[in-house]
Every structure is written in C-alpha cells, then in structure tokens.
Amino acid sequence: MFLVFLGESGNTGASANDSNQPYHVHLGLMVHERQSISINGEFTALWKRHFGRSVGDPETPKSLRPADLYQGRGFFKSWSPQKRAELIQDCLGIMVRRETPVIVTYIDKREFVKNRGQQDSPSSLWKTPAEPAISRFLFALNMYIDEMNMNSLSPNQIADVQNDWPISDYALVVAGQGKSVEPKFMNQFLRTEGDMPSPALLENFCFVKAEDSVCTQLADLCAYFVRRWLQNPSGANAYFDALRDGRVIQVVYPVQL
C-alpha cells in the first residue's frame, strides 16, 4: 500500500486576494509502506546531524516550517544561508535518492475569484480554493494509481474485460491536521466522480499533525518550492529543479475553472 502524504502551500483560507501567494498547491508524496521505516530512520539521523539533538527535543523545532527554513525566520533566524541550504538539500535528498513519486495540483486563486463571481459558474459552489484543488488532486492520484496497477498486469489480464482487474497496490491519503483539507472533501470527490471506479483509493483521509509525521514535513517542503516555482517559473528555482530532475515530481496538474 502507498501512504500518500499531503503537503500544501499558499493556504489563505477563504481569502483569495493575497498577492504574495496567488497559488494554492496540494501535493501528494507517495511513500510505499516498505519505505516508510527507512525514510523515518534517515530523517532521524539527519535531524541529529543538523541540530545536534534527537527529534522531539525541546531545543529543536517541533517541525520544519518551509518558509522559516528557506527565509531564515523563527527558529532558523540565526542560521546562515549555507547552513539552511545544507538542511534543505539533505531533506530533498531523502526523496531524490528513492525517486519517491510526487503528484502536484494547483489552483490560481485569481482565476478562482474571477470565476466564482460569475453567475451560473460551477466555481460559485466552492467556498475556498482548497476544495477544487483537492478534488483535482484526488482525480490525478486515482488515475496515477490505476496506471500503476495496470502496468503490473499481463496482456491477457488486460484483455480479459469479463473480470475485474486485480489490484496490486492501494493508496491511503494522509492529510495534515489543522490544514485546509476536510473529511467532507473526499465525499465530495466520490460523489462528483461517481462514474469513475476508484477501488484502489481508500475512501477516507487519515489526519496527522506535521510534527508527528516526517513525510508530511517533506511533502510541505516540496509544496513550498513548487509554489515558488509557479510564482516565478523563469527565475532561479534550484530546489524545484532538483525535485523535477530527480524524478520526484511526476505530475503537475492545474485546476481548470
């Protein structure tokens, strides 16, 4: 089974007019259950190397907040740019070495506001940009899992339309507690995409706090660099480039309104 850890960036709630965060990004880091122990172990070693203390020690941050780490704020205010860059690179290296798949969806909040104001627009039903973004994320994830399962089938199995295809891997979506994803979003997706079979996608979210989930922190870090790339695609985006060139970022799916 895959544990799909949701990261997000650009969440401004119901307000969609923040010029500094014009995009809302949802991202899923797909960690197979066989890899979860090694990723946690590597992160624990990384943490002790950079902070000199164990995970959970009160002298270390509760979790890695991407903007604080990248911009040198909060706990990282006294850290040099080089020291912060080394920690970021080590975090991204955990995923690059494994080519851990990442699925990205994003929404342009300016388009969201524009479309929501039009009469008879489907966007008028959405309360926040997070709702259509997570709906498209679940759609993209479902398609990706289906393709993975199909790739494991023999030609004879694919040709046999009389029987259901066997499922080799399921996916459980792990969302960050206290963020924009709500349990009802899964029900909304399943109701809207009712004609799409999704037996490999478990029909409930699992919610965890970021400080209790290594992979949620890594997913948030990825989402942050994806959003920075979206806001300035022609600029210097070394961390996004590392994720893309390292075969981590597999799908980038814009929400069409």
As a residue count, the chain comes to 257
Angle, CA of 51, 54 and 58, to the nearest 5°: 80
Residue 246: predicted pLDDT = 96
Query: Structurally, what CATH architecture does the domain formed by 2-254 represent?
Result: 2-Layer Sandwich (3.30)
The phi-psi region of residue 13 (left if phi > 0; otherwise alpha if psi is between -120 and 50; otherwise beta) is left
For residues 198 and 143, give the distance between their C-alpha atoms in angstroms, rounded to a whole number. Answer: 9
pLDDT digits (tens, 9 = 90+) for 223-248: 999 999 999 999 999 999 999 999 99
Residue 159: predicted pLDDT = 53
Token digits for 10?
Answer: 């650009």
Classify residue 79 by burial, with Cβ atoms within 10 Å: 0-12, 13-18, 19+: middle
For residues 15 and 43, give the distance between their C-alpha atoms in angstroms, rounded to a whole number. Answer: 35
Higher model confidence: residue 226 or residue 121? 226
For residues 243 and 172, give the distance between their C-alpha atoms in angstroms, rounded to a whole number. Answer: 23
Residue 17 pLDDT exceeds 80: no
pLDDT digits (tens, 9 = 90+) for 36-87: 999 999 999 999 999 999 999 999 999 999 999 999 999 999 999 999 999 9
pLDDT digits (tens, 9 = 90+) for 141-200: 988 888 776 766 556 655 555 555 566 778 999 999 989 999 999 988 888 765 655 567
Q: Which amino acid is at 109?
A: K
Residue 169: predicted pLDDT = 77
Residue 65: predicted pLDDT = 96
Residue 222 pLDDT exceeds 60: yes
Domain ranges of the chain: 2-254
